[in-house]
Structure 1
Amino acid sequence: MIKNIIRNTMLFSAIMLLNCSYKQDCPEGINLLPMYGEAKKCDEQIKSDIEFLAECDKQFKSRKEAAEKYVEKAWGYFYNNEPETSMKRFNQAWLLDKNNAEIYWGFGNLMGMKHELKQSISLFEKSIKLNPNNAKVYESMSISYGQLFFETKKVEYLDLTIINLKSSLKLDPNNAKNYGSLTSAYAYYAQKDSLRKYLKITDKLDPKLVDPQVRKIAGQE
């Protein structure tokens, strides 16, 4: 009798261990990471993905169209200050179409919000590789490089901030905000010629975008 109890207890423990290890095989929280953290999904997660794709195939003419709809939803949550739900929708869009450049821009912005600056830059680069003509992606990348400069004081990050702002302005030449950012960036250099040049341009577009301290550095006050 005692032997049977011990044997049954050991069998129950073994089953519980198997169940626990099965659950451990499913990586948790990956829908809150870009591209699901590029993790190896468990069977349950793969099944869920297949069901999601099948449902989208019924609702939309193509997966490309479905991805665009989910990108739209993701931006809605992003601008409504719901980053976790935004990341989930961007990930679903990524499942549908891995060649949609806007998805990586969204991923990059979300990682920038989490202060994962180098990862955000890597994601912006993916977006630009797929579509080099979106001025806003260069602007987003300039923000990440600017934050890295403020943290590290490494001039290379300041240089890259300016390079990306100029790339954005080539595509969107009337963006007063980016001219203001470019003016502020040049205030950190010892040579002030470029600062004064872009200060004049910004003033023509919107003088309110120039910080009084930057004017002082430029010698206007």
Structure 2
Amino acid sequence: MKYYVLLLAVLLSVGTGSAQAQRKSKVKIKNGGAPVSAANRLQPLFGGISVAQAEALVGAAFLADIDRSFSSRPEASKFFSTKGYEYFTEGKIDTARYRFNLAWLLDQKNPDAYRGLGVISSSNPTPDESISLLIQGLTVDPNNALMLSDLGASYLIRYQQTQKKKDLEQAMTYLQQATTAAPTNAQTWQDLARGYYYQGEYPKAWEAVHKGQNLNIASVDIEFIGELQAKLPDPQGMFK
């Protein structure tokens, strides 16, 4: 699982099949009828409450300050999602989560609100919540390369846990779309290599490894290289 910690590193550098996956896999986060409280501030998307409930939670005074300080709420949303990433990289997870929630509240079409929350949720024991959030992000920005990459990596994590072929297929679909949308993302190539490894496509796995290596040598996971070498020696002879 050490390999998949690199999913978080993507934050620092994600067709028909995709649309079908979104319809089948989307799992909305629900409040379940529980009373709205301050605790909702630190739950992804405010715990699934409505926009109106979330507005009431943050307060009319806060929203009035936003409207005075920014030319539009989408502009304010981008500000808060940017701050969310900054707090995340500083390790201030609760603060980052609340900033991403505010970004969502101010603009439900801001993909970074969903992606930021999805990346934070990737540290959960299972990737289900992260997958749900990232899929919702793709509904507003279907060609977001970082979102596609993160989602593919999340499905790889779930495949490792479930060993279900459909999870691996979803992972490969998203990762291949991500490399098409952003072919210079080294980490996506390494995740794709891992997917090919699981499929037993070892020559393709090596090809993806080298593509990622050529972009950024730091993206190479030496532990994975050892696993791949045990199946097929490096055809290029660079790893021995």
Residues 193 and 92 of structure 1, relative CA distance in 2, 3 Å threshold:
same
Rounded to whole Å, the distance in 2 between the matches of 1:36 and 1:195 is 40
Q: Deviations over 1:164-196 (max 9, x none)?
A: 111110111122222222122212223534334
Q: Deviations over 1:16-55 (max 9, x none)?
A: xxxxxxxx95434111112211236998971643221111
Which has the higher relative contact order, 1 or 2, with Cα contacts under 8 A spaced 6 or more apart?
Answer: 2
Rounded to whole Å, the distance in 1 between the matches of 2:210 and 2:87 is 38
Q: Which residue does the alignment assign to 2:120?
A: 110
What code does the residue aligned with 2:121 have?
M
2:77 is the alignment partner of 1:63: no
Q: Deviations over 1:104-137 (max 9, x none)?
A: 1111112222235112111111111111222111
Q: Which residue does the alignment assign to 2:233?
A: 219
Q: CA deviation at 1:202?
A: 4.3
What code does the residue aligned with 2:59 have?
D
- Normalization by structure 2: what TM-score? 0.72
Structure 2 spans left out of the alignment, 5+ residues: 1-33, 235-239
Residues 96 and 201 of structure 1, relative CA distance in 2, 3 Å threshold:
closer
**Mean CA deviation greater in 111-120 or 36-45:** 36-45
Residues 61 and 186 of structure 1, relative CA distance in 2, 3 Å threshold:
same
Residues 44 and 139 of structure 1, relative CA distance in 2, 3 Å threshold:
closer
Q: Which residue does the alignment assign to 2:159?
A: 149
Q: Deviations over 1:76-121 (max 9, x none)?
A: 1111111111111111112211111111111111222223511211
Rounded to whole Å, the distance in 1 between the matches of 2:75 and 2:66 is 10
- The one of 118, 127, 140 equivalent to 1:130 is 140
Rounded to whole Å, the distance in 2 between the matches of 1:136 and 1:47 is 31
SS in 2 for 1:219: coil
Tell me if structure 1 keeps the 8 A contact 2:111–2:141. yes
**Based on CA coordinates, which of the two structures has the bigger radius of gyration?**
1
Q: Which residue does the alignment assign to 1:33?
A: 43
Tell me if structure 1 keeps the 8 A contact 2:84–2:100. yes
Rounded to whole Å, the distance in 1 between the matches of 2:216 and 2:98 is 38
Residues 160 and 217 of structure 1, relative CA distance in 2, 3 Å threshold:
same
Q: Deviations over 1:142-169 (max 9, x none)?
A: 2211111111122221222222111110
2:184 is the alignment partner of 1:174: yes
Rounded to whole Å, the distance in 2 between the matches of 1:36 and 1:197 is 42
Q: State percent identity of aligned pairs.
A: 25
Runs of at least 4 residues off by over 4 Å: 40-45, 202-208
Rounded to whole Å, the distance in 2 between the matches of 1:140 and 1:69 is 22
Aligned residue-pair number = 198
Q: Which residue does the alignment assign to 1:186?
A: 196
